[in-house]
Amino acid sequence: MKNKNILVTGAAGFIGSHLTRKLVNLGANVSIITKYNSLIDNARLSDIWEKLNVIEADIRDIDSLEQIKKLKPEIIYHLAAYNHVGHSFTHVSQCFDVNAKGTANLMEACKGCSKFIYTSTSEIYGYQEKVPFKEDFNPRPISPYSITKYSGELYARMRYHQDKYPVIVLRPFNNFGPYQSEKAIIPEIIINCLLGNEIKSTEGKQTREFNFVENIIDGFILAAEKEGVVGKIINLGSGQDISIKNLILKIYKLTNSNSKLSIGSLEYRPTEIWKMFCENKKAKEILGWEPKISFEEGLKKTVEWYKNYIELYYNKEKGLPRLSKLQISFN
């Protein structure tokens, strides 16, 4: 990846920021698209901000993407998306604009690249009668988020078949790790356990697989480096699931929490998917990829990170609360 000209969309997001940092460390020339050229709006990239070429643009606005044509990146990592499953039901138009139309706009601006890596999602599988989920399963998405992500994937695949656009589709399964939003289940549980808040959940019989983000980033890097990957659809995941109840109990133990556990206090979602994990045979065979960091080790690393996060962001004498106090004193 050294000296490669690479463009990352969604670089300030959870996965995108980890990928961007890894690319910089590998010596790539990294450009990112962000709606605002401001470190305040891209806090996850604070340690590498000065090493990035920041392009202020919005993938929904094709005119703003004219800047990319001049840049001529070799490799595109497309991670920008409206990505909250639950909230997507009240933001349907935004989902379509970003995830479907935005993908088409970006591909138009990036003609001539050597690889366009489209970040799909495990959510496109939806209801399936069998597990593990395989790439040749018929997708049955069940949310505006998953429908629009699949729409973007279909458009990218159409361009590959129509005019040999060098598309690679990655379908990462659930991720976790440092700097993930508190809206995601693992950081939500960790933070509540560390703060001593009550932990409310369903009975937790449904299972999911969770992948430490560094493992997934390794897969993204290999997708750009390996030959014979263009045109492929590849699941990225460990293929090992855990029940939500056992996940809660693991985190509870790791955090030495004294929170009240109210497992079974919430109702299951009407659209609950009971088992969700992938077959990763293609990732192993095509990319030579498999997870290096175990789930248990990744969870320990993540818990330690959130301990520091709470100390920095919840302590009124440190971090952002301190900056807020300074702002108040200026007014």
Tell me which DSSP letter residue 200 carries: E
Global confidence as pTM: 0.94
Confidence of residue 85 (pLDDT cuts 50, 70, 90): confident
Which is it for the CA torsion 185, 137, 78, 226, positive or negative? Answer: positive
By mean pLDDT, which of 19-23, 152-156, 157-161, 323-327 is the weakest? 323-327
Domains observed in the chain: 5-181+211-242+272-295 (3.40.50.720)
- Average pLDDT, integer, range 216-221: 98
- Average pLDDT, integer, range 29-44: 92
Beta strand 242-243 with 207-208: parallel, antiparallel or unpaired? antiparallel
Per-residue confidence (pLDDT) for residue 185, from 0 to 100: 95
Q: Is 198 exposed, middle or buried (0-12, 13-18, 19+ CB in 10 A)?
A: exposed
The dihedral formed by the CA atoms of 155, 167, 127 and 132, expressed in degrees to the nearest 10? 170
CA distance 145 to 99: 8
Residue 328 has pLDDT above 70, yes or no: no
Q: How many CB atoms lie within 10 A of CB 54?
A: 19
Of residues 159 and 313, the one with the higher pLDDT is 159
What contacts 26, CB < 8 A, 6 or more positions away?
Answer: 1, 2, 221
CA distance 197 to 130: 37
**% of the chain with per-residue pLDDT over 90:** 84
Per DSSP, what are the bridge partners of residue 7? 31, 76
Average pLDDT for the chain: 94
Residue 329 has pLDDT above 60, yes or no: no
CA distance 168 to 224: 9
Of residues 99 and 1, the one with the higher pLDDT is 99
Residue 58 has pLDDT above 70, yes or no: yes
Per-residue confidence (pLDDT) for residue 216, from 0 to 100: 98
Task: Give whole-number Cα distances, 16 to 42, 179, 266, 276, 297, in Å.
Answer: 11, 11, 32, 23, 22
| 215: amino acid identity, one letter | N
CA distance 215 to 213: 5
- Helix, strand, coil fractions of the chain, as percent rounded to 5: 45, 15, 40
Beta strands in 2-69 (DSSP E): 5-9, 29-34, 53-56
Confidence of residue 327 (pLDDT cuts 50, 70, 90): low
**% of the chain with per-residue pLDDT over 70:** 98
| Of residues 118, 120, 126, the one with CA closest to residue 78 | 118
| Of residues 12, 41, 113, the one with CA closest to residue 21 | 12
